[in-house]
A and B are shown apart, each in its own frame.
Chain A
Amino acid sequence: MDLEFIISLIVQIVMIGVIAVALMTAFAAMVMVERKLLGRFTLRYGPNRVGKYGSLQIIADMFKLFFKEEVIPGHVERTVYLMAPGLALVPALMAFAVVPIAGAPFTLPFQIMGTPITINPWIANVNVGVLYILAIGSLGTYGVILGGWSSNNKYSLLGGLRTSAQMLSYELPMGLAMLSAILIVGSMQLTNIVEFQASYLGGFFWLILVQPVAFIVFYICALAEAGRSPFDLPETENELIAGFSTEYGGMKFGLFFAAEYVHMIVVSFIMATVFLGGWSGPFAQQAPFLGIGYLLIKVAFILFTMIWVRASIPRVRFDKLMKFCWKFLLPVSIANAAATALVLAVLFF
């Protein structure tokens, strides 16, 4: 281990911290934007009391969550109960590690101990990136299932079982939708996927153009994975109180809440990267900072549509949800992957 390695290690750790903080900030902003937009969609004002246009409402809410008395009900399984919110949030954050946010590494304008610092626009550029995302996504189920069980409450248990069944089921079509995309690119590395999209049709060979079905399947699965409306079965108040988070209060509930939003944000990043060209756009190769801007615009658009869907479509019933996944989405995505493979085989072999 020489000096360069240590410096790169420190840079890496700092970057992980920066991205984690950025995602948590994005979560706070997202809650605010969502409440404001939902208000507009339903012809209300949304929060408008705290600060200009209600912009400080989220800060007030966060203070409320942080300073609430920490109540741990006597009947819970203490260790697992305390572990569950963290286990829900951490995988949601971890999935971001393989997302490339720009095209080329940045070089900092100063040196540390005579060594120039370059920052890669990703945390880890692994060659099994897509699989990594799916694997980490499947770990998100643990927070829900452990929270539901350790609460020692029938509603929590039912909510936990329901949510994890939903997450497990929707992982399959999601993986198959990703498969259709990586069949075309020929690589599971996310940087390769973006570069592939940037290198044809003048940089606009977005995979959504050749894989619209896969994109729609992925979008629906992303909603279900993040527990978003119309698949927000975990929080069916009229059936399950608050599902797996019934016994959680204060910041412990806040972590579950954050996990849902971070999950939604990260999955939007992945969607933008795999199907919408990621950081690519005019002049993004020359000026990496432009790439971050393009990526953020695409992600913001996807997040907006997610809120739009929430305001427009009512919640589905649980049995219909499972039927839709197993009897419609899964066959469609299998057929799509098979058709993609067939077309590729005819064209290139």
Chain B
Amino acid sequence: MPFDPSQIPIVQIVFFVMTACAIGGAIGVVSSPNLFHSALYLVLSLFGVAGYYVLLSAGFLAVVQLMVYVGAIAILILFAIMFARRLMGQGENQNNQQWWLSLPIVMILFAVLVGVVNTVSWPVSGAEPTGDTVMELGHAFLGSYLIPFEVVSILLSVALIGGIFLAREKVEAEEA
């Protein structure tokens, strides 16, 4: 059979590459002996997920995924590791003595997830996304979903202030 370039399933190839990034990265996170490397694998995994969004024509979500998770949260994690650990922090064991206890729980959770994914009938629409998705998202956020949106923002602010409150130095207590 002659080689027919029209048979190359580009979307599938990209999908498998992204899946390899996402799952391989996730495995790296939990198996790497170096905490810093784990954080880098996490970045790889988040990249894979951003790739999924691109394949699903959700450009806005993909870019936000990059900006928020890869560009901010993962960097914050790296920061924390750099400040808190010895400079290289190598050869640390990720497991403690209770790993055998959590193993069955994780297995059950995995089985439940697989069961759910297989039994639920996911609604699939063959239609292409129409119009300016960014504008529609904006209208949704400030229109029909205004209250959930605001509640989430208040929740995040509360978490932020709480974090600062817990982490700040207790000056008064030391002076007294």
Contacts and interface: CB of A to CB of B under 8 A. Distances in A.
Interface of A: 1-2, 6, 77, 80, 126-128, 131-132, 134-136, 138-139, 141-142, 145-146, 148-149, 152, 154, 157, 160-161, 164, 168, 171, 187-188
Given A77-B88, A128-B134, A164-B75, A139 B63 contact: no
B36 interface: yes
A132 B70 CA distance: 13
Contact of A127 (B10, B37, B70, B133): B133
B64 A161 contact: no
B63 A135 contact: yes
A195 to B, nearest CB: 15
B132 A127 contact: yes
A215 B87 CA distance: 40
B75 A157 contact: no
A122 B6 CA distance: 26
B70 A138 contact: yes
B8 A1 contact: yes
Given A131-B63, A132-B63, A154-B87, 4 more contacts: A1-B10, A127-B60, A136-B66, A139-B71
Interface string B63-102: 1101100111001001100110001100000000000000
Nearest to A77: B88
Given A149-B36, A164-B79, A141 B5 contact: no
A286 to B, nearest CB: 29
**Interface size class of chain B, counting residues whose CB lies under 8 Å from the partner chain:** 20 to 34
Contacts of B24: none
14 contacts: A6-B5, A77-B88, A80-B40, A127-B132, A128-B59, A131-B63, A131-B64, A139-B71, A145-B75, A146-B40, A149-B82, A154-B87, A157-B82, A161-B82
Contacts of A132: 63
A149 B36 CA distance: 9
Contacts of B88: 77, 152
Interface in B1-30: 5-8, 10
Most buried by B among A127, A135, A148, A160: A135
A88 to B, nearest CB: 14
B133 to A, nearest CB: 7
Contacts of B40: 80, 146
In the A-B complex, the 9 residue pairs with the smallest Cβ-Cβ separation, listed nearest first, are: A138-B71, A135-B67, A135-B66, A1-B6, A131-B63, A135-B63, A128-B63, A128-B59, A128-B60
B77 to A, nearest CB: 11
Given A127-B133, A128-B134, A164-B79, A138 B72 contact: yes
Interface in B82-129: 82-83, 87-88
A168 B64 CA distance: 15
B87 A168 contact: no
Contact of B66 (A77, A139, A145, A188): A139
B59 A138 contact: no
A146 to B, nearest CB: 8
Contacts of B37: 80
Contact of A1 (B5, B60, B63): B5
Contacts of B59: 126-128
Contacts of B5: 1, 6
A95 to B, nearest CB: 12
A79 to B, nearest CB: 9
A348 to B, nearest CB: 15
A240 to B, nearest CB: 15
A292 B134 CA distance: 29
A41 B108 CA distance: 70
Contacts of A77: 88
A139 B65 CA distance: 12
B134 A127 contact: yes
B87 A135 contact: no
Nearest to A5: B6
A242 B142 CA distance: 48
